[in-house]
Amino acid sequence: MKTSLLITLSLAACLLHAEDIQRDVRYLDDGHARHVLDIYKPKEAKNLPVVFWIHGGGWQAGDKSDVALKPAWFMQRGFVFVSTNYRLLPEVDMGALIRDCAKSLAWVQKHVAEQGGDPKRVLVGGHSAGAQLAAILCTDDRHLREAGGDFGGLIGCVPVDGDTFNIPAMIEVAETRAKVHGFPLPKYGHRLKFGNSPEKHRDFSAVTHVAKDKGIPPFLILHVAAHPDTSAQAVHFGNVLREDGVKVTVFGAKDTGHSKLNNDLGLPDDPATKALEQFVKQVTGR
């Protein structure tokens, strides 16, 4: 009941602080039905930093409306909040998903000033599958540049409980676990989702693209502390970033779960939200 009340109050605050919530804005004029995004902006927005959010759903499901408390929380802190859709597996391949997100982000950078946002200050985030997509956009600069966007305009990245920053490692762990315990391999597991090719598995892994002096923005990697896979991926990714001089915070949230961690972002006294607030202050300088 307490959580439901807080969610209701936060949604009311979202409407109170939003001068405009624009839904189903097309980022590709002649594109797919899922080439749309939602824009939440505070009253009298002017030159505000921007959040670009990518939903989860195993790359096969999910929707831009799955943002819970985040638009309200970010708007209350002076952000324009954008949540995007993208095409899904298996209708298209993983490369198309990444390109969709890159095109959406590039569109935001080109048009968000019209909504009171600053295209030079964009924070990219995402949950689960969206965490992998956010991380690859913020490490592999080819995607955003090819879409006509500005990699230098990214001020931070917040991937939430992703398990595929290092895809070959995740595949090996999952498949070894299944074999050792006599479980059948999934019919459409990570190996196939990411192209069934070692080269593609490496190329779609954010860890592959980390390098010094590349302009990679600071990272806040949130993960469920009790989950061995997302914890291992988060710590390893954080170490790779740190070794190449990228500012990174890895925060393991206790007493939570994969969906709860994401949905609770924005709740008062939530530890992961406090880590997020500190990170936001660092990357915005306020």
Catalytic sites, residue numbers: 128
Q: What share of the chain is helix, strand, coil (3-state, %, to 5)?
A: 45, 20, 35
Question: How many Cβ atoms from other residues are within 10 Å of residue 179's Cβ?
Answer: 11
Amino acid occupying residue 272: A
Question: E strands, 225-266, where?
Answer: 248-253
**Rg of the chain, C-alpha, whole Å:** 18
User: In sequence order, what DSSP letters do the residues of 150-195 get, joined into one string?
Assistant: -GGGEEEEEEES-S-SSHHHHHHHHHHHHHHTTPPPPTT-HHHHTT
Handedness of CA 260, 85, 231, 272 (dihedral sign): negative
* Closest residue by Cα to residue 80 from 130, 128, 150, 25: 25
Report the length, in residues, of the chain.
Answer: 286
Give just the sign of the alpha carbon dihedral 239, 241, 246, 247. Answer: negative
Q: Cα–Cα distance between 167 and 72 in angstroms, integer?
A: 33
For every residue of 208-233, DSSP letters joined together read: GG--TTS-PPPEEEEEETT-HHHHHH
As a whole number of angstroms, the distance between CA 15 and CA 246 comes to 36
At which residue do the structure tokens 């030079």 appear?
120
